[in-house]
């Protein structure tokens, strides 16, 4: 019972992040589709509507349907379920793992909803400098995953530094 109580804030935040992702995608569908680009911070931050069947930078967009289902539906669902069981059932129910779980679940479920119901993901944000140094077009679920990756990398670098300082 204590583990579930510890997870309630993470579950609530995850639900909120998924709702925020869905709302922004619905707004993009309503107000950006077919409208071209909207420059919010000069050329640095642009709202630009796109839908893609693949992942980051449309990777996997041309996959056959069986492979697409495997890589974009089954594997992400399994990853969320397996990591959820790990976090809920093991002694690793720390704030670190709850934070990772929140970002992983929010990002994965946000894009899984699009893929499951529409067969593609709605993206609508682009950032960069000029025309050559730019991100792909992305959504909030993607942002959650990027934050997750940065968080894990920074944490691992800090842990390696601690280990080297002890030697």
Provide the residue ranges of all domains of the chain, joining segments of one domain with +: 2-166
Q: What is the pLDDT along the chain (167 residues), one digit of tens a residue?
A: 677 788 899 999 999 999 999 999 999 999 999 999 999 998 999 999 999 998 877 788 888 999 999 999 999 999 999 999 988 887 666 888 899 999 999 999 999 999 999 999 999 999 999 888 999 999 999 999 999 999 999 999 998 887 777 77
C-beta separation of 80 from 118 below 8 A: no
C-beta separation of 73 from 112 below 8 A: yes
H/E run at residue 129: strand 121-129
Letter string b/e over residues 43-68, b meaning 16 or more CB atoms within 10 A of that residue's CB: eeebbbbbbbbbbeeeeeeeeeeeeb
Catalytic one of 21, 61, 123, 165: 123
Count CA within 13 A, CB hemisphere, residue 84: 16
For residue 125, what pLDDT is reported?
Answer: 97
For residue 91, what pLDDT is reported?
Answer: 66
For the question of residue 29 being annotated catalytic, the response is no
C-beta separation of 114 from 120 below 8 A: yes
pTM of this prediction? 0.89
By the 10 Å C-beta count (0-12 exposed, 13-18 middle, 19+ buried), 1 is classed as: exposed
For the question of residue 142 being annotated catalytic, the response is yes
């Amino acid at each position: 019972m204590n583990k579930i109580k510890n997870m309630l804030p993470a579950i609530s935040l995850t639900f909120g992040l998924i709702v925020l992702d869905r709302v922004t995608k619905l707004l993009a569908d309503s107000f950006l589709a077919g409208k071209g680009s909207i420059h919010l911070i000069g050329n640095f931050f642009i709202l630009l509507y796109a839908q893609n069947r693949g992942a980051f930078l449309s990777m996997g967009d041309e996959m056959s349907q069986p492979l697409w289902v495997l890589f974009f539906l089954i594997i992400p669902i399994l990853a969320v379920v397996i990591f959820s069981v790990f976090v809920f059932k093991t002694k690793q129910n720390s704030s670190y793992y709850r934070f990772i779980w929140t970002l992983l679940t929010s990002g994965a479920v946000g894009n899984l909803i699009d893929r499951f119901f529409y067969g593609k993901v709605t993206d609508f944000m682009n950032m960069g400098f000029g025309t050559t140094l730019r991100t792909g077009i992305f959504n909030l679920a993607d942002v959650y995953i990027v934050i997750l990756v940065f968080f894990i990398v920074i944490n691992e670098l800090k842990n390696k530094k601690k280990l080297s300082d002890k030697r």
